[in-house]
Amino acid sequence: MGRPRPWRLGAAGDRAAPVSGLPRVTGWRRCGRAGGGAGDVGPLRWARKARTRCRILDGGDDAQPAATAGRPFRVRNRGRARGLPILNADSVGGKRVLRLMRQHQLLAPRRLGPPNGDPAHAGTIITTRPNEMWGTDATRFYTEQDGWCWSFGAIDHYSDDLVGWHVAKLGDRWAALEPIRQGVRQACGGFGKDVARGLRVRCDWGPQYIADAWINEVKWLGITISPSYVGEPECNGVAERFMRTLKEQCLYRHRFTSLPEARTIIDTFIARYNAEWLIERLGHRTPAAARAAALAA
């Protein structure tokens, strides 16, 4: 089929003129472009496409242009809410709205790249000496009599030794504070205001660690809170790696009857971990030996 002619289209050109608001000759020119064939867009369809483009680029709502600026889904949904057939689900797809707004640079600006810096986590969270940064985290386990219980821990980022741990039925902010309290008493020789100044604590965004009671007491001790990025557990990798070891080597290997039994088993495992567990990063030394050597240097 060759290029369509005006006399083949009959009155379609006349009907297209009021739809698009453009002269009929424009429709004929679009319809009869060079190289056209059976798949060419006729004047009526081209007029509807032109009107759709105008409505999309106008934001779908003349009264509230700012409410839809840069947001393709709002342009489409606002047109549906106003009952505009030109923007209903049957005639205009979301991808078309997005494509037109991108072509005319109407999309809202956005920051390029990952929001939290290097996605490969090429840096390091390992410190050069003990008691510079601790990591804290928690996990759950099940007991037959007491149901689900919690295990909290605080680990040194240099020597990988547990400076404090706590097993409890209720995993609230007070249970999360107990490992920090134990570690401060052991590392600083006491418990009081600003006694641990210079120490940092890495934690995630769990409800225990964003509670006012937890934050206020940690700051009262002089500790700087260093939260990890949301959704990126690598930032708290030292504590996360220990929790994996605790699960694989202790929690998953026992069927706990009660909370006191679980507390005894977990305490025994952590004491053995600090004294006997060989860690490759430490030159195949135990956490206790690495800490002693660093403090004696």
Q: What is the 3-state secondary structure of 257-282?
A: CCHHHHHHHHHHHHHHHHHHCCEHHH
pLDDT at residue 108, rounded to an integer? 74
pLDDT at residue 100, rounded to an integer? 77
Q: Which residues contact 58 (CB under 8 A, 6 or more apart)?
A: 65
- Residue type at 271 in one-letter notation: A
Do residues 241 and 280 make contact, with C-beta atoms less than 8 angstroms apart?
A: no
**Exposure class string for 281-297: b at 16+ Cβ within 10 A, else e:** ebeebbbbbbbeebeee
pLDDT at residue 113, rounded to an integer? 64
Give dist(CA 114, CA 122) in Å, integer: 14
pLDDT at residue 255, rounded to an integer? 95
pLDDT at residue 104, rounded to an integer? 77
Please count the helices (runs of H) and the strands (runs of E) in the chain.
12, 5
pLDDT at residue 97, rounded to an integer? 75
Q: Which two tokens stand for residue 114?
A: 């990952």
Q: Which two tokens stand for residue 12?
A: 């379609």
H/E stretch holding 79 reads helix 72-81
Mean pLDDT by 10 residues, the chain (297 residues): 46 47 56 47 52 57 46 60 53 74 76 66 87 96 96 96 96 96 93 94 95 96 92 91 96 96 97 95 95 92
Q: Is residue 2 helix, strand or coil?
A: coil
Domains of the chain: 6-103 (no CATH), 133-296 (3.30.420.10)
H/E stretch holding 24 reads helix 24-31
Predicted structure pTM score: 0.63
